[in-house]
Structure 1
């Protein structure tokens, strides 16, 4: 699982941090932005789109999924992304493995695995990782 920041999240982060950091009022609607402001917001996504053509379908699918999420689901997704970003490389590898395995399980089985994971010793977790390591453990995406 690659870390992905959907288009809308990227835009909202940019709006809140750089393009409008000097203003005290809330950022304007998209239609009220200048062309320069729009270009500044879209540039990181455009650069990634052009730099990684093999990821375009995945980027588009995730942006569409983000649009269909409720505000609460988006809040939870942002929280999860922040947690993932703060993890060590080893913790990220474990998270990828657990996430991949959880996708294959029923809700009841997920709860059982979650509880088992909490009680495992580091040695038991290492053994679990050896047998359930992510098949696609790609290196981190280069930062723009």
Structure 2
């Protein structure tokens, strides 16, 4: 049976997130009880539906409902993400799963810090990202380790104070500040942070 690309993507979306939704009841869901839209989304599972454990049926039904509620632009984004996921090798997928598990095992404050760093990086210009990558790639493993250990490991309240200082700068000054911070040595950067924080 040849699947339409949109049905394939929808189904993979559901399967990819199958473990994220808790199930409550233990009753099996007959295929006929699913709405027409849910049946279309879950079409590839029709033959094996009756053999599935009730918990899995309920999770899939919930994900099909969630899919129907997504605005078109979010569906498109999810389809692109699923296409990207499908294009990855099994090794790449396993690597992503391992990193995700490692992230989930971190304390909440460290998870928050990593999210903030990712957000900060995503807001850099392409040129700033290129420069940062180039600088990182030119470092020795010891330099990278030292940078990771020293860079940005401020206590949460001091990190918040520094973030507020940076956020209050006009956009052009903020970009210039970040550019200069990346060009500084670790010692220069630490000195500037101490000055900003009034140490």
Question: What TM-score range do you get, normalising by the shorter chain?
Answer: 0.5 to 0.7
Which residue of 155, 159, 162 corresponds with 1:126? 159
Alignment of 1:80 with 2:87, yes or no, is no
- Which segments of 5 or more consecutive residues in structure 2 lack a partner in the other structure? 1-12, 21-44, 168-199
Q: Answer yes or no: is the 8 Å Cα contact 1:49–1:56 preserved in 2.
A: yes
Coordinate RMSD, CA, aligned: 3.9
What is the total number of aligned residue pairs between the two structures?
A: 112
What is the aligned partner in structure 2 of residue 139 from structure 1? none
Matches within 5 A, 1:49-128: 49-53=67-71, 55-103=74-122, 104=124, 105-106=129-130, 107-110=133-136, 115=145, 116-120=147-151, 121-123=153-155, 126=159
State the TM-score, normalized to the length of structure 2. Answer: 0.41
Question: Larger deviation: 78-87 or 42-51?
Answer: 42-51
TM-score normalised per structure 1 = 0.53
C-alpha separation between the residues in 2 aligned to 1:52 and 1:110? 39
In structure 2, the CA distance between the partners of 1:98 and 1:50, relative to structure 1 (3 Å rule), is same
1:10 paired with 2:17, answer: yes
Residues 40-93 of structure 1: CA distance to partner in whole angstroms, max 9, x if unpaired? 563242133234436322222211110011111101111122123223332222
> Relative to 1, partners in 2 of residues 1:72 and 1:8: Cα closer, same or farther, differing over 3 Å?
farther
The structure carrying a bigger helix percent of its residues is 2
Q: Unaligned stretches of 5+ in structure 1?
A: 1-5, 15-29, 133-144
Matches of 1:128 and 1:114 in 2, distance apart? 26
